């Protein structure tokens, strides 16, 4: 699906509009009064009046220039990282219906034997070496014609079995022969389809009041898929802010599958993929298609959802109660975002840094309605840096690809040190 580009953060001084210059009413047609202007009145003269300044060029009165204010780019209220990756969003009554709309069900993935095609140096039909002519009537020439009838490397390949490794193949009506290779596996069983594991989400949707389906879609070139159940405004932060809680099923065909519990601040479009003190954020799922295991996993996921929601509510409210000075926030943001330029860095890094500090500062100080009611708190600090990293920071690649790369980085950071939300939360909880 086509995603709109996030506009860049911009800034401009506020301009004070000038009142138009009003001519005094003429006393008589023969003697028109000279136009009034700000400052000194024009000297009296019997000569023709001096030429008036061109329209729009009247010199304005001196005024104190307003300070520059960096404003964050507009943030759409439906574009968090999961919705960027999704092919279906929030419009299905059941999880099964959601999977169909997202086109991630019915893949019918199976393991198939693998072999390597190795050049042998001789034609597999006529036994002539590479560079020599095929023998008359060689069947290989009929199948793979070559210039001057010479043996080429492609005519010599032989299959070599790869024991213990299988190709993962799914049905695909649009692919050649109706099948598509997805990846490889060493597992001894076929991957568990997402529609079977989605029973865990269905159980959460049935058990938690107000739960609805959320974003869903394929991941990593369709070697995995995700689906979510969300509970809007489940966590109250004071009486001024709300957080949505989501259960996210990530079903991998080539790696580990998990159910993750993730807070989402829908005001700033920030996902918070964090663990809490002594509380994980996920339940790992068995690779086997085992009904008893799925029942246990559904129970564990539901229990974690409730516990994580309760604990996160306490954490968010602690952060809201803790005030933060502008200097403390500046140091915090520099530590988390790691983008303060070196003195020898040149003008461009300093300009980028100014834009960033202006944007996150406006969010922290509540100068935009997204954070107005939580301003100057550690909770606002968390939202400011995560909103910058996930929504406002210019993507490295333009267009949809850049938005998707940024979304993957937000919910699947390559390593823990790149998890902006976790780094920020750990710092903010010190002394909170």
Locate 432 and state its tokens: 């909170």
Q: Are residues 326 and 390 in the same domain?
A: yes
* Domain end (from 161, 185, 209): 185
Locate 320 and state its tokens: 């809201």
Inter-residue contact 357 to 330 (CB < 8 Å): yes
Any domain includes 54: no
**Stretch 206-231: mean pLDDT:** 96
* Domain end (from 276, 306, 336): 306
Q: Are residues 382 and 345 in the same domain?
A: yes
Q: Are residues 330 and 425 in the same domain?
A: yes
The pLDDT assigned to 344 comes to: 84
The helix/strand/coil state of 380 is: helix
Going from the C-alpha of 175 to that of each of 3, 99, 183, 428, the distances in angstroms are 26, 21, 15, 50
**Stretch 66-75: mean pLDDT:** 45
Which residue, among 397, 328, 390, 387, has the nearest Cα to 363 in the 3D structure? 387
Any domain includes 314: no
Inter-residue contact 360 to 388 (CB < 8 Å): yes
User: Other C-beta atoms within 10 Å of 283: how many?
Assistant: 23
The pLDDT assigned to 30 comes to: 40
Q: Are residues 203 and 302 in the same domain?
A: yes
* Domain end (from 282, 306, 330): 306
The pLDDT assigned to 421 comes to: 98
Any domain includes 57: no
DSSP string across 254-303: SS-EEEEEEEEETTTTEE----BTTB-SEEEEPSS--HHHHHHHHHHHHH
DSSP-assigned letter for residue 225: E
Q: How many helices, marked H, and strands, marked E, lie in the chain? A: 11, 11
Q: Are residues 263 and 344 in the same domain?
A: no
Q: Are residues 158 and 273 in the same domain?
A: no
Q: Are residues 124 and 229 in the same domain?
A: no
For residue 322, pLDDT beyond 80? yes
Any domain includes 269: yes
Q: Is the dihedral of CA 339, 387, 101, 1 positive or negative?
A: negative
pLDDT tens string 234-281:
999 999 999 999 999 999 998 899 999 999 999 999 999 999 999 999
H or E, element range at 204: helix 199-207
Strand partners, 242: 236
Provide the number of structural domains found in the chain: 3
Give the residue with greater pLDDT, 92 vs 11. 92
The pLDDT assigned to 431 comes to: 81
CA distance 383 to 80: 13
Q: For residue 169, what are the domain limits?
A: 110-185
Locate 268 and state its tokens: 């700033």
pLDDT tens string 4-54:
333 333 333 333 333 333 334 443 334 444 433 333 333 433 444 444 444
Q: Is the dihedral of CA 306, 311, 317, 319 positive or negative?
A: negative
Q: Are residues 285 and 413 in the same domain?
A: no
Q: Are residues 119 and 176 in the same domain?
A: yes
Alpha carbon 117 to its chain's center? 39
Give the residue with greater pLDDT, 346 vs 287. 287
Name the least confident of 72-81, 102-111, 137-146, 223-232. Answer: 72-81
CA distance 207 to 230: 12
Going from the C-alpha of 45 to that of each of 25, 34, 42, 48, 222, the distances in angstroms are 19, 11, 9, 8, 85
Q: Are residues 87 and 210 in the same domain?
A: yes
Residue where the block lists tokens 């070559």:
146
Any domain includes 10: no
Contacts of 190 (CB under 8 A, 6+ apart): 109, 110, 111, 289
H or E, element range at 205: helix 199-207
The pLDDT assigned to 63 comes to: 46
Confidence of residue 217 (pLDDT cuts 50, 70, 90): very high
Locate 67 and state its tokens: 């300070």
CA distance 105 to 127: 47
Question: pTM, whole model, 2 decimals?
Answer: 0.78
Q: Are residues 100 and 240 in the same domain?
A: yes
Confidence of residue 76 (pLDDT cuts 50, 70, 90): low
CA distance 198 to 214: 13
């Amino acid at each position: 699906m086509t995603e709109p580009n996030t506009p860049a953060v911009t800034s401009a001084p506020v301009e004070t509009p000038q009142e138009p210059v009003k001519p005094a009413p003429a006393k008589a047609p023969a003697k028109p009064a000279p136009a009034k202007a700000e400052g000194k009145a024009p000297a009296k003269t019997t000569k023709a009046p001096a030429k008036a300044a061109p329209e729009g060029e009247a010199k304005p009165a001196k005024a104190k220039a307003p300070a520059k204010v960096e404003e964050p780019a507009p943030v759409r209220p439906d574009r968090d990282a999961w919705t960027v990756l999704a092919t279906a969003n929030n419009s299905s009554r059941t999880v099964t219906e959601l999977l169909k709309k997202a086109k991630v069900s019915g893949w019918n993935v199976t393991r198939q034997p693998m072999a390597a095609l190795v050049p042998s140096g001789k034609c597999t039909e006529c036994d002539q070496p590479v560079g020599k002519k095929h023998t008359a009537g060689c069947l290989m020439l009929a199948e793979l014609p070559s210039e001057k009838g010479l043996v080429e490397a492609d005519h010599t390949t032989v299959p070599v079995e790869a024991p213990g490794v299988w190709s993962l193949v799914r049905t695909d009506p649009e692919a050649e022969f109706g099948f598509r290779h997805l990846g490889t596996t060493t597992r001894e069983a076929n991957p568990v389809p997402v529609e079977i594991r989605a029973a865990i989400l269905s159980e959460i949707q049935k058990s938690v009041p107000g739960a609805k389906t959320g974003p869903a879609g394929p991941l990593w070139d369709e070697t995995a898929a995700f689906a979510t159940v969300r509970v809007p405004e489940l966590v109250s932060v004071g009486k001024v802010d709300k957080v949505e809680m989501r259960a996210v099923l990530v079903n991998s065909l080539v790696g580990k599958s998990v159910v993750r519990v993730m807070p989402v601040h829908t005001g700033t479009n920030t996902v918070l993929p964090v663990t809490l003190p002594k509380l994980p954020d996920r339940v790992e799922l068995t690779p086997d298609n085992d009904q008893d295991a799925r029942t246990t996993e559904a129970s564990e996921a539901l229990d974690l959802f409730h516990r994580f929601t309760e604990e996160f509510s306490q954490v968010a409210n602690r952060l809201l109660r803790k005030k933060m000075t502008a200097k403390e926030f500046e140091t915090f943001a520099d530590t988390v975002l790691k983008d303060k330029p070196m003195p020898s860095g040149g003008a461009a890094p300093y300009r980028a840094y100014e834009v960033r500090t202006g944007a996150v500062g406006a969010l922290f100080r509540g100068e935009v309605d997204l954070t107005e009611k939580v301003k100057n708190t550690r909770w606002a600090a968390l939202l400011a840096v995560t909103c910058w990293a996930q929504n406002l920071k210019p993507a490295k690649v333009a267009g949809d690809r850049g938005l998707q790369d940024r979304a993957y980085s937000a919910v699947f950071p390559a390593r823990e040190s790149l998890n902006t939300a976790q780094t920020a939360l750990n710092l903010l909880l010190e002394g909170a």
